Amino acid sequence: MSQPLPTPLHRSRSHESAVGHVTGKARYVDDLPEPPGLLHAAVVPSSTAKGRIVSRSAEAARAVPGVLGVFFADDIPGTNRIGPIVHDEPLLAEDTVSFHGQALALVVAETREAARAAAAKVVVTVEAETPLLDFDQAIEQGSFTTDAHVIARGDVEAALDGSHLVIEAEARVGYQDHFYLETHGALAVPNEGGVHITSSTQHPTEVQREAARILGLPAAAVVCQVSRLGGGFGGKESQASPYACMAALAAHKLDRPVKLVLKRHEDMAWTGNRHAFLGKYRAGFDADGRFVGFAVHIYSQGGWSTDLSGAVMDRALFHLDNAYRIPALRFEGRVVRTNLPSNTAFRGFGGPQGVAVVEDAMERAAAALGIDPVELRRRNYYEEGDACPYGQVLSEVRLQRIHDELVASSDYTARRAAIDAFNAGSRWVKRGIGFSPVKFGISFTASLLNQAGALVLVYSDGSVQLNHGGTEMGQGLYTKMLAVAADTLGVELDRVRHMPTATDKVPNTSATAASSGTDLNGAAVRAACETVRERMRPVAADMLGCAPDAVRFADGACHGPSGSVPFADVANLCWVKQISLSSTGYYATPGIAYDPKAGRGTPFFYFAYGAALTEVEVDARTGQHGVRRVDILHDVGDSLVPSIDRGQVEGAYVQGLGWLTVEEVIYDDAGRMVTHGPSTYKIPAVGDVPPEFYVNLLDEAPQPGVIGGSKAVGEPPFLHAFSAVAALRHAIGAYGDGAVELSLPATHEAVLRAVEAVKRG
């Protein structure tokens, strides 16, 4: 019997690790007690972006006091190939080097200092070759990692030929470093032929699989455990695996515990970023500003290996329409291969890069047609029953409702008029206001990944242990899972203990990514709890003298028509009666299927919606700009924990604002990252948070078929930051009559260049 989640006090619970985070008591990989005999590992990186390995020498390194081992590719007992989809990444370089910072060898010593000192003495001679670093040059040379993925509908050429307005332009967006507070790290402990790995990873099952491949062991011999991550944002979905595998390799070879933790500059320089994208498009509109046709070629800067770039490109293509109905279209995307670190997942997973293209077209169309950009967008929204470019039919479409409510609550019309009046009287400082909607698909687009497991154990005293396959990286997943378990079993929150995520408790799990952590794991947790609860129901009914269907589990007790008994008493009696009080739970998202060759299918279970309005101020003398006010209305369904969801919206907006306005990754002509630390790479700080920041969650909007009627919230609100770009364009346009050409990220320098260009006309 399925018992719907009520709306109890559990939903207002604070983050389960909040006290630990603010007091410093929360433990990460490098904070764990050191096991006896712990060794430390250091990576020997390539100082060449491309070349052929001629020779290797570790004699000087082995002579450093405290060094116990130096390992090259030949020392790997299993397969020296890893990768989340395609196994095209050597853990340690074999015959060639493909990017600056690639791991050539691994040094292990008694201390971290000795390991690093010895790593500097390893000599690997590389015959350098000319690397391919330039994005546009790689496209021209046909250097691609993937074949073209095409999604098409209607006759786009005919539609463009018949359009009142055709815009032909390019839209570029840059890299973004994840800049999680905890860098990559892993601790590997050998145990009688196997190895136990504690890793800062979003995907413990992948770490388990890859380490088993490297060591030549069955997966059952490897356990990966994750207590928490100090941030991930996608950067630890696939790229935590190499460092966990290196630690496991050393532990296996030396039969001693080994820890490997990267320094900040190493983490930034060696690991991948958000993919930079280039979109070349032609967009057609009728005289009223409605989309007629859209032809787009998009390219992503993939780096040296496949990683997750193909899947990132897929989601970018799926989001080229954003919130807009487009009758005729052709979208084509390819991943570009270069000699740079392999770029990887990042919050939004390609969706923001796709949206960047269509939002660029909307802004240009509004300017060319003389239509308010907010009104132009409203005229193009999807409606109930419309089909996406890939054929998925939309339901529960909330775009128009969100638009109307946000425009009214933010007082948009009066504020835009006031801004225009201010700009008319201000020479150097101008203000702008911008709007952007969001339609974001929720699910892993690879259907096999849409599954999750859980293990729930109820003890005879009524306390509960909760296990599932999701990882906690600060986003509040554990808090929500505690709420689901407590509500389903009807116990108090403090009676449920959340255990570290581990592959020996729940096998074959998917990464905590794609905003699916709550949907997948929550459904699995509920299923496990329901199984145990229903075993307990007849026992409770006998104690209460009522029919089993009359028993209600809530508030730490089992309630009948004429009384109640404590949940702990029922659990104890179940133990006495030899009734199992543990169960696994499993969930697989239904109906997900997509054919990439046909460009048709249902890649998403549902869509999250939202809209944002941002007001900015720009100084023409310096290009300096700042956000004055933000209004966001976001659809999270029936929120499980509103405080956490609101925080996710706020954080996502600020992180998106960083990507689009201040964060700039730079490589030099040799393929070395220049911006590899906080002194050279700027991320948003407290002063960048808007002084007026209004976030509201859409009321009375439960989502059918999802745990508790809630919706995913991790990635969709990241796209609200596009409203800041629209606002900057409005402010820049007030300086003259020229077209606004604003490059992204819209740094102060980029804004200054755009202002000067507008002034020149």
Each residue of 568-599: pLDDT tens digit?
999 999 999 999 999 999 999 999 999 999 99
Please answer whether residues 352 and 718 qualify as being in contact, where contact means their C-beta atoms are separated by less than 8 angstroms: yes
Instruction: Say whether pLDDT at 10 is over 70.
Output: no
Pick the CATH number of 396-442+605-761 from 3.40.50.300, 3.40.50.720, 3.30.365.10, 3.50.50.60: 3.30.365.10
Residues 131/265/350/711 CA torsion (nearest 10 deg): 170
Instruction: Say whether pLDDT at 3 is over 70.
Output: no
Instruction: Say whether pLDDT at 445 is over 90.
Output: no
Token couple for 716: 């969709």
- The class that CATH gives domain 9-25+451-588 is alpha beta
Each residue of 485-542: pLDDT tens digit?
999 999 999 999 999 999 999 999 999 999 999 999 999 999 999 999 999 999 999 9
Domain 9-25+451-588 and domain 36-130+180-270, same fold? Reply is: yes
Strands 328-337 and 222-226: unpaired
**DSSP letter string, 145-177:** SS--EEEEES-HHHHHHT-SEEEEEEEEE--B-
Pick from 616, 596, 590, 610: which is nearest to 715 by CA? 610
Half-sphere exposure of 190 (CA within 13 A, CB side): 17
HEC sequence for 16-39: CCHHHHHHCCCCCHHHCCCCCCCE
**Mean of pLDDT values over 670-676:** 98
Instruction: Say whether pLDDT at 563 is over 60.
Output: yes
Q: Is the peptide bond before 745 cis (omega within 30 degrees of 0)?
A: yes
**Which residues does residue 199 pair with via DSSP β-bridges, in sequence order?**
186
- The class that CATH gives domain 132-176+273-382 is alpha beta
Instruction: Say whether pLDDT at 8 is over 90.
Output: no
- Mean residue pLDDT of the chain comes to 96
Looking at the chain, the whole-number percentage of residues with pLDDT higher than 70 is: 98
**Mean of pLDDT values over 644-665:** 97
Each residue of 206-229: pLDDT tens digit?
999 999 999 999 999 999 999 999
**Mean of pLDDT values over 167-172:** 98
Q: How confident is the model at residue 13 (pLDDT cuts 50, 70, 90)?
A: low
Instruction: Say whether pLDDT at 141 is over 60.
Output: yes
The predicted pLDDT at position 568 comes to 98
The b/e string for 525-555 (b: 16+ C-beta within 10 A; e otherwise) is bbbbbbbbbebbbebbbebbebebeebbbbe
Instruction: Say whether pLDDT at 369 is over 80.
Output: yes
**Mean of pLDDT values over 284-306:** 98
Strands 277-285 and 291-303: antiparallel
Residue type, 592: I
Instruction: Say whether pLDDT at 7 is over 60.
Output: no
Q: Can you tell me which residue has the tokens 């280039």?
A: 278
Q: 310 — phi, psi (to 5°)? A: -65, -45
Helix (H, G, I), strand (E, B) or coil at 629: strand
Q: 385 — phi, psi (to 5°)? A: 90, -5
Token couple for 410: 């933010």
Say what angle helices 241-254 and 204-215 make with each other, to 10 degrees.
40
Each residue of 184-214: pLDDT tens digit?
999 999 999 999 999 999 999 999 999 999 9
What DSSP element (H or E) covers 647? helix 642-661
d(CA 245, CA 227): 18
Helix (H, G, I), strand (E, B) or coil at 619: strand
Instruction: Say whether pLDDT at 1 is over 60.
Output: no
E strand segments, 338-389? none
Residue 184 neighbours by CB under 8 Å, 6+ apart: 200, 236, 239, 240, 243, 261, 262, 267, 271
Looking at the chain, the whole-number percentage of residues with pLDDT higher than 90 is: 96
Each residue of 37-53: pLDDT tens digit?
999 999 999 999 999 99
- The structural domains of the chain, with segments of one domain joined by +, span 9-25+451-588, 36-130+180-270, 132-176+273-382, 396-442+605-761
Other beta carbons less than 10 A from residue 332's beta carbon: 17
Pick from 269, 247, 287, 262: which is nearest to 91 by CA? 247
The b/e string for 116-136 (b: 16+ C-beta within 10 A; e otherwise) is bbbbebbebebeeeebbbebe
Pick from 737, 741, 738, 736: which is nearest to 751 by CA? 741
Residue 24 neighbours by CB under 8 Å, 6+ apart: none
Q: Can you tell me which residue has the tokens 């020997």?
A: 44
Token couple for 198: 């504690």
E strand segments, 174-220? 185-191, 194-199
Instruction: Say whether pLDDT at 336 is over 50.
Output: yes
d(CA 269, CA 260): 16
**Mean of pLDDT values over 326-342:** 98
Pick the CATH number of 36-130+180-270 from 3.30.365.10, 3.40.50.170, 3.30.70.20, 3.20.20.70: 3.30.365.10
d(CA 184, CA 295): 40
Strands lying side by side in the sheet with 692-697: 429-442, 606-619, 625-634, 692-697
Catalytic residues, by residue number, are 715
